Chain A
């Protein structure tokens, strides 16, 4: 993975986490049921994105870490 891709992955992951934080802030400050539902839906969307991003991150870590379990015969 290139540096720029790695930075983008980090940026996107932090961006999703921040977005969830802000959605929670909106939900805790509004009485409007439609708004609450809309921002709950946003949280769901963000968690789905994070799941994908974490998958990419784990793949990146596996790629960067030498396989120490391999044995030579």
Chain B
């Protein structure tokens, strides 16, 4: 089963995204800041990270700096998301290398799920459903 790590200090967003992804068949871990996310990486390596930018203790950009320096995890796809797209923190985080930036508010839940699925698909190089099994035409558009 594919695993997604959600990193956001906003409790309601963690609840909504984990509800969405669990219902779609993914295993979900949550962290409330970058420091917790680094610890979560060591416990259970995810297949994809959903990362907020503005967080206390360690923000998304600082987390990405650590992630990119770690050869065990630096190839993990990261979907960066934030309620704003024009702040220096977001622009800096994007420069560190992410699969995609998602502005909160621009996407509904189904669209977000589609982005997660296609990012995992692109990263794996072959078609998998959330359980990790080969699949047929499920993700053809």
Flag the segment in B12-20, B41-49, B131-139 that touches A.
B12-20
Task: Judge whether A26 and B19 touch: CB under 8 Å.
Answer: yes
Measured between beta carbons, the chain B residues less than 8 angstroms from A26 are 16, 19-20, 109
Interface size, B (range)? 10 to 19
Using a CB–CB cutoff of 8 Å, the interface residues on chain A facing chain B are: 7-8, 10-15, 17-19, 21-23, 25-26, 29, 35, 38-39, 42, 45-46
Footprint of A on B, CB under 8 Å? 10-13, 15-16, 19-20, 54, 82-84, 87, 89, 104-105, 108-109
Majority secondary structure, A binding face = helix
CB nearest to B89 among chain A residues: A7
**Which residue on A lies nearest to B108, using beta carbons?**
A25
Count: A-B pairs, CB below 8 Å: 55
Which residues of B sit under 8 angstroms from A22, Cβ to Cβ?
13, 16, 108-109
* CB–CB B105/A17 < 8 A: yes
Indicate the member of A12, A15, A39 with the most B CB atoms within 10 Å. Answer: A15
The interface centre, meaning the residue of B12, B54, B83, B87 with most chain A CB atoms within 10 A of its CB, is B12
Does the CB pair B105–A11 fall under 8 Å? no
